[in-house]
Chain A
Amino acid sequence: MTVAAEGSPSIRASAGQRRPLLQSEQAKGLALISPTFLYALVLLAVPILVVIAYSFWTQHYLTIDRTFTLENYRIALTEPIYRDLLMRSLYVSLVVSICTVVLAYPIAYFISFYGGSHKSLWLFLITIPFWTSYLLRVMAWKVILGYSGVLNSGLMGLGIIDEPSTAFLYNTSAVVITLTHAWATFAILPIYVSLEKVDRTLLEAATDLGDGPVRRFLRVTLPLSMPGVISALMIVMIPTVGDYVTPRLVGGKDGVMIANAIQAQFGKAANWPLGSALSVTTMAIVTAMAGATVFILRWAARRAR
């Protein structure tokens, strides 16, 4: 019977004074979520703390020296090779997240405002590519951008170029194109959700008050959809900074990113503390970059209103 009692709103409203009931709801909720919570705690939160601890230690061949040191961070931040990789990773993730969001916004807008009764079909079409193997999508871009690839043979077939260009593959722009394609879905969905929440009567009000479509978009639609834009930026920017597959397959020598260095430290080089320090540094800097982006966007949205 208690199960039924808790559910009914009238009783919950009076539960302010009846603490045992509230506590039992508290206890039940915690008990129910605890298996999942413990799983994430043991296999995610604890491991990340361990990585942070490792980043302050030193590797001596097969043993770990556990005296506190900042040496790994000095290497991560000042050695040219790691500094360059870090800068490139941050640059790539910033460019990719901006490109993805700019390209995704009109699509989300189209689905939300002009999708009509086909909205869920559109969303389904948008999500399918995301579900296909990431490895295969990157490989497909390799096939498109390669020396004897689709783009080159196509351009030669059209007579635009005489011989295959090597400019498309194995550089940073190949990495940017591939990642922009791979993360499209992640940008469209949050923007779409926030556009759906925009109260359409506000748009009518803006029109009635004499705002043109452009002004109305800039002053009403865009600021109101800003939460979606911000979460789209975050959801693309933070994971792409640590991408491993794309730089390895299409990045070539000039497209290598920090994840490739992290992998090397945990693999062949077997320097776990340095690998840990690189991971922590990357996370810290990308979080700061994401925070700064959110701050700038919020400020801009306030100014627009």
Chain B
Amino acid sequence: MTAVRKMLANWLPLYAALYLGFLYLPILLLPIFSFNVSAVPKFPLTGFTFKWYESLPRTPALIDATWNSLIVGASAAVLSTILGICAARAITRYRFAGQRPISGLIMAPLVLPEIIVAVSMLLVLLQLGLSLSLFTVVLGHVLICIPYSVTVLISGFEGFDRSLEEASADLGETAFGTFRRVTLPMVAPAIISSLLCSFTISLDDFIIAFFLTGTDVTLPIYIWGQLRFAAKLPSVLALGSLLLVGSLLLLTLAEIMRRRAERRTRNAGGGVFV
């Protein structure tokens, strides 16, 4: 009996370490090969170089794609967070009939194959006579970002002590004043965390952008185009490593914000989006 427990205590950490290796190995390979002299990504490494990184700023198409991605990401983040605030606030603050089906629909993009979301939006947008552009990509990204925003925001809004709002109202603050001076400061970290999560999702998304964009490309679409040429692989790896570092910084920031929010609202529990 204790033997089994001892075995578990010994083997589970080892398994956990191996599993983390499995999770991180592919991701760590990108930066390793991006500094490799040879254009073919294989071991043994042939030498250290910055040349793949140096070629990046000299590629106008890449610069354009980066700008497009930043604009799309920022717009999608702001819109999905605003819509997320509405939903999360309604779900945590009020109880109303139809809450379950409505939140079910809002969260549905999380469990639908992205390609289904993409093609159905494509059909309708073209029917409406909208021409495909970065704007339609933003529409799609907002849709897939909302579930994440809502989850992050709900965990920020829950456990939030409602008596503080009541005290503020009792002391004569208007509804708007209460929101701005009491509610907002308490939920600000959750809002920032939602902005960062949606931005990252939009920045990484390929399928929605692939179907809904016109002639303007976003970064993942640019990368997809480059993948056809074996000679371009090292530059793509360099670009990928930069994106990796960027995402990592944003997420660490989002996590710090989320924890601060958690401490502030004294709400223990949950991971990044549970």
A residues within 8 Å of B by Cβ? 1, 3-4, 7-8, 25-30, 32-37, 39-41, 43-48, 50-51, 54, 103, 106-107, 109-111, 114, 120, 122-129, 131-137, 139-141, 143-144, 148-150, 152-154, 157, 181, 184, 189-190, 192-193, 196, 212-214, 234-235, 238-245, 249, 259, 262-263, 266, 272, 275-276, 279, 282-283
Contacts and interface: CB of A to CB of B under 8 A. Distances in A.
B247 A213 contact: no
Interface of B: 1, 4-5, 8-9, 12-13, 15-16, 19-20, 22-27, 29-30, 33, 40-44, 83-84, 86-87, 89-91, 93-99, 102-103, 105-106, 108-117, 119-124, 127, 139-140, 142-143, 146, 150, 162-163, 165-166, 169-170, 175, 178, 200, 203-204, 206-207, 210-211, 220, 223-224, 227, 236, 240, 243-244, 247-248, 251, 255, 259, 269-274
A128 B28 CA distance: 12
A153 B42 contact: yes
25 contacts: A4-B165, A29-B99, A36-B87, A37-B105, A43-B124, A45-B105, A50-B120, A50-B127, A107-B16, A110-B16, A131-B247, A135-B204, A136-B223, A136-B243, A141-B26, A150-B29, A150-B42, A181-B26, A189-B273, A239-B112, A242-B114, A249-B227, A266-B119, A279-B120, A282-B113
Given A235-B110, A283-B116, A114 B42 contact: no
Contact of A143 (B16, B29, B87, B166): B29
B120 A51 contact: yes
A41 B106 CA distance: 8
Interface of chain A, main secondary structure: helix
Given A32-B86, A39-B146, A276 B204 contact: no
Contacts of B87: 32-33, 36-37
B42 A50 contact: no
Q: Enumerate the 8 nearest inter-chain pairs by beta-carbon distance, A residue then B residue, closest first.
A: A242-B113, A29-B94, A29-B96, A47-B120, A140-B26, A33-B90, A32-B90, A36-B87
Contacts of A51: 116, 119-120, 123
B123 A243 contact: no
A41 to B, nearest CB: 7
B93 A150 contact: no
A143 B110 contact: no
A152 B42 CA distance: 9
A51 to B, nearest CB: 4
Contact of A127 (B13, B33, B93, B272): B272
A272 B13 contact: no
Given A32-B94, A213-B8, A239-B113, A157 B243 contact: no
